[in-house]
Structure 1
Amino acid sequence: MTSPPTPLDMAVALLREGRPIDAQELMVRELQKIEREHGRGGPAWASAQCDLGHVLLNSDQFDRAAECYRQACSGPVPADQEHRKDQITYRLNLGMALQHAGRLDEAADELRRNVQERMAFYGREHAGYAFGLEALADVLYRRGDLREALEAAEETVATFWRDGHERVAGALAQRAEILKAAGSEGPAFTGLEPLPDEIIERMALEAVNRIDRADPQTGAAVLTDLASLLEARLGPDHQATLNALSTLANLGHHLGDQRMRIETIRRVLASYDRQGAHEQALMTVLGLAMAYGDAGDTDAGLHEYAQALARAQRIDRPEMTSQVLRNWGLALKEAGRKEEAERRLREAVTEALRGADHEMLGRARIALGLFLQHEERLEEARSIVSEALAGMDPAHPDAVVGRSHLGAIAEGRSCGCGDMGGAVAEAFRQFVVHQLPAGLLSRFDVTVEDGDFKIQVELSREPEPEELERLDRVIQTGYADFRRRLTARV
């Protein structure tokens, strides 16, 4: 018989649905229930604090998550061994939340303490000790303490390997990154022949997932070694190999190494064509077209867009054909071929209307509307962009771009490219307003000053305590999410 979902299970499901406020409120109610039934400070209360911390952490509210974890491990050392183990876990979570918040010195202090707790509880040879050591190695690496980080990473790998623990995969990926950051010219992955393929695949996934936080040069060095290992071990057509190559190509863009990027994309494309993976091959051709454009080879890029359209028409999925036409139209516009650009952008809207993907339809309309705006056909642009925004999530990046341009159209300007901060602020405002009871706010203004949000709130009536708590959660959640978007665009 299947067990009923826990409150945390339900909160995670809400997060996946894009409902972070509802997820937080569910866990807050659960915490309040535990407080009423068991009081503060006990094992059940600490567990509920930890669960709320998980939801906040996954909503990018790292400081608030850290406070929940701090509360969870703040009580006296439990006599019960299971509760003691839980408290040790809560401190590990605290250290990791502080790391995400950028509070690296505090994170290092908490994780050093956690490593000592784990050594006393588990012993140095146990995988439970290595869990804390792995987290500490990451913080030391982020702080630039590479020698100490590498020592911790080496011990983590040795412990997991000796224990036969599957977490050796992540530890190997971590060690490889630290090795390359420290300037090692040798291969990042050696002596892995005894490991089963599933651990190699997991290691590859862990290495790819770490790349977003790595220095691009370090990431490229890791992925180059990883791709060579995977191609020899799993084959050139294995998905793990292709994922590593695709991520390496993306890093080529960041590094400005367009030649490496193009060569790598072509290796991926050849594999998908060998496998008959037509949709994946189509998306790879789109990436190739963009790479040629970034390399300044406009003719080669436009040729690849034509190839992509032929592939899309054979697949016959309207949303994919629309995406190709939209991207091709934007590339034609950049090449100064305006008549062709407009034709392709209009075709992108027509194709999207054939399908059921409302997001793709909105993106196609915004691309066409912005083209028309830049051509000073403002009334037509206003109509198309307004129609696009009416059917899109206001927080979608293309909707943010569209809103910034719509404001410019209203002012009679042919371009709104410079007011992205204001558009993100407006998306933040709409996010908050739509999450609150009608009639609660008489004013909620969001502006951007010195690269950050300034918020002004006026209430139209005296709120209920629950409404005030919800207002705080909505603002905090929106601030975390949209500030990330704002800083990404600055």
Structure 2
Amino acid sequence: MRELQAVTARHGRGSPAWASTQCDLGNLLVHADQVDRAIECYRDATSASVHEDPQIRRDHLTYRLNLGMALQMAGRLDEAESELRQGAQDRLAFYGREHAGYAFGLEPLADVLLQRGDVRQARQVIEETMVNFWRNGHERIATTLALRAEIVAAEDAEEPLFPGMDQLPDEIVEQIALSVMSRLGRCDPKTYQIVLTDLVAILEARLGVDHQATLNVLSTLANVGHDHSDQSGRIDAIQRVLASYDRQGRAEEALMAALGLAMAQSDVGNEEKALRTYESAHARAERIGRPELTSQVLRNWGLALREAGQVHLAEQRLTEAVTQARRGADHETLGRADIALGLFLQHEGRLEDARAVLEEGLSALDPVHPDAIVGRSHLGAVMAGSTCGCGDLKTTITDAFRQFVISRLPADLLADLAVTIEDGDFQIRVELRREPTEDELERLNGVVQSAHAEFRRRLTSPGYAG
């Protein structure tokens, strides 16, 4: 903000320098998860006068593209389509139909059209984009082919999702895989599974079953199966990844895949298989010899044993997890092991033991860590004498937000920091003890923005289900 004020004073509102700074600020706000504020910055940038200077005109095209994409991120799809259509027309006038600069404006338009359910128009736009980038030999063909695959799958068309892959170099094929994975959560899950399944077959044939790109897409397919209840497909994908890591002698990656397999087996109710997989994972961790990994396996194994009703064995494994974590140097591993054991002890009615373990765990974890939120909430219930429940989770979350901010500011700056959650978002009220310096005010704004972004991202993750 200080830079924007300086540029405004020096060059004036509406100047090219002012518009460029507005765009830079918008980019920062997007990364801070403050999309609505970013939209206003981009809109201001597009309102600046457009000169005949080609570079200024190119910059203006970028501002409008950013505005359209930010509107899409905010879910304001009708506005996004309008801005992106105008941007595509402006690019056509500036670059001409054959230039790759025109296609840069088409691809996000196709994405918005797909999201709005206008698959027919999305297909027309993405085909023009693909032809353009292909003709220009542009590497952006990777993201275009990834989006096109979704559109064709959504059409349920009887044609290849990824045409011409044999004509592309390996590095572009790998970029296509990365682009497909980056679109996780942005389209219909069933459509996305179709795309991933088709892509895995292509990668296995082109790059090999043990290539990292193939394994990464298989892992993404497993995650999609977890999120959308395709447990058989999830287990099959994990087993293929695990077999590959074993073939390659990649012990730590194989261990992580084994843990994923055990969780998948638990989710389908096959407790016996899951517990055998945890036992074999523990043997893998012992061979590797890193206490942090052994602790992680023991913690997950203990939780699975408790779910299976094997309480005595569960306590043994969870206690061993803490012991192993203390041998290591990773605070997060220790904190997570402590929280898991603390919750177990609480539910068993051993509140004093639970309190000590939970307090140790909270001292080891970042306040914003999902396990810290759960642990702090359960600690509140323990101190109230409860063997179950997690207390007032909303208050726990707002207290963690306050701690995150206060710990990063001068001790004498804040008189009060009130944090509440209203309509699913944080509301913050700050009272200052004294007049801040300009640097302190900028730091305060930055810390609050960071906390807002961090907690919003964490609070929407599955880890907070508690």
TM-score by length of 1: 0.89
Structure 2 distance, partners of 1:215, 1:418, is 36
Selected match of 1:132 from 105, 108, 128: 105
Q: What SS does structure 2 have at the residue aligned with 1:395?
A: coil
Equivalent position of 2:44 in the other structure? 71
Structure 2 distance, partners of 1:105, 1:194, is 37
Instruction: Read off the aligned partner of 2:93 and give its amino acid letter.
Output: A
Selected match of 2:253 from 266, 280, 283: 280
For the structure 1 residues 421 and 93, does the alpha-carbon distance in structure 2 shift closer, same or farther, using more than 3 Å as the test? same
Q: Does 1:307 align with 2:273?
A: no
Structure 2 distance, partners of 1:184, 1:198, is 27
Whether contact under 8 Å (2:380, 2:390) holds in the other structure is: no
Runs of 4+ with deviation above 6 angstroms: none
Equivalent position of 1:198 in the other structure? 171
CA shift digits 1:155-211 (9 cap, x unpaired): 111110011000000000001012222333543212321111111110011001102
Is there any run of 5+ residues in structure 2 with no aligned partner, and where?
none
Whether contact under 8 Å (1:444, 1:458) holds in the other structure is: yes
Moved more, 459-468 or 432-441: 459-468
Instruction: Read off the aligned partner of 1:262 and give its amino acid letter.
Output: I
Whether contact under 8 Å (2:119, 2:155) holds in the other structure is: yes
Selected match of 2:154 from 176, 181, 187: 181
Whether contact under 8 Å (1:282, 1:312) holds in the other structure is: yes
Whether contact under 8 Å (1:432, 1:478) holds in the other structure is: yes
Equivalent position of 1:5 in the other structure? none
Structure 1 distance, partners of 2:164, 2:128, is 16
* Alpha-carbon distance, 1:54 to partner: 1.5
Q: Does 1:444 align with 2:427?
A: no
Selected match of 2:364 from 375, 378, 391: 391
Selected match of 1:432 from 405, 415, 418: 405
Equivalent position of 2:331 in the other structure? 358
For the structure 1 residues 417 and 226, does the alpha-carbon distance in structure 2 shift closer, same or farther, using more than 3 Å as the test? farther
For the structure 1 residues 203 and 31, does the alpha-carbon distance in structure 2 shift closer, same or farther, using more than 3 Å as the test? same
Equivalent position of 2:137 in the other structure? 164
CA shift digits 1:301-346 (9 cap, x unpaired): 0100111111111111121111111111111111111111111111
Whether contact under 8 Å (1:318, 1:351) holds in the other structure is: yes
Structure 1 distance, partners of 2:158, 2:253, is 34
Equivalent position of 2:59 in the other structure? 86
Q: Does 1:406 align with 2:379?
A: yes
Structure 2 distance, partners of 1:351, 1:41, is 61
Equivalent position of 1:291 in the other structure? 264
Aligned pairs for 1:26-45 within 5 A: 28-45=1-18
Selected match of 2:124 from 130, 134, 151: 151
CA shift digits 1:398-457 (9 cap, x unpaired): 111111111111211122346443332222222232344333433323333554445454
Q: What SS does structure 2 have at the residue aligned with 1:69?
A: helix
Equivalent position of 1:215 in the other structure? 188
Instruction: Read off the aligned partner of 1:373 and give its amino acid letter.
Output: Q
Equivalent position of 2:396 in the other structure? 423
CA shift digits 1:98-131 (9 cap, x unpaired): 1111111111111111101100110011110000
Equivalent position of 2:216 in the other structure? 243
Structure 1 distance, partners of 2:428, 2:167, is 57
CA shift digits 1:256-300 (9 cap, x unpaired): 121111111111111111111111111000000001000100010
Equivalent position of 1:3 in the other structure? none
Moved more, 226-235 or 386-395: 386-395
* Alpha-carbon distance, 1:246 to partner: 0.8
Whether contact under 8 Å (2:22, 2:41) holds in the other structure is: yes
Instruction: Read off the aligned partner of 1:392 and give its amino acid letter.
Output: L
Equivalent position of 1:482 in the other structure? 455
Moved more, 470-479 or 201-210: 470-479
Equivalent position of 1:15 in the other structure? none
Equivalent position of 1:227 in the other structure? 200
**Percent identical across equivalent pairs?**
63
Whether contact under 8 Å (1:319, 1:352) holds in the other structure is: yes
Structure 1 distance, partners of 2:141, 2:46, is 27
* Alpha-carbon distance, 1:50 to partner: 1.8
Instruction: Read off the aligned partner of 1:93 and give its amino acid letter.
Output: N
* Alpha-carbon distance, 1:80 to partner: 1.1
* Alpha-carbon distance, 1:90 to partner: 1.4
Is there any run of 5+ residues in structure 1 with no aligned partner, and where?
1-27
Aligned pairs for 1:317-356 within 5 A: 317-356=290-329
* Alpha-carbon distance, 1:75 to partner: 0.9
Q: What SS does structure 2 have at the residue aligned with 1:328?
A: helix
Instruction: Read off the aligned partner of 1:288 and give its amino acid letter.
Output: L
Q: What SS does structure 2 have at the residue aligned with 1:301?
A: helix
Instruction: Read off the aligned partner of 1:247 and give its amino acid letter.
Output: T
* Alpha-carbon distance, 1:476 to partner: 4.4
Q: What SS does structure 1 have at the residue aligned with 2:47?
A: coil
Structure having greater relative contact order (Cα 8 Å, sep ≥ 6): 1
Q: What SS does structure 2 have at the residue aligned with 1:165?
A: coil
Instruction: Read off the aligned partner of 1:67 and give its amino acid letter.
Output: E
Whether contact under 8 Å (2:16, 2:49) holds in the other structure is: no
Structure 1 distance, partners of 2:83, 2:408, is 36
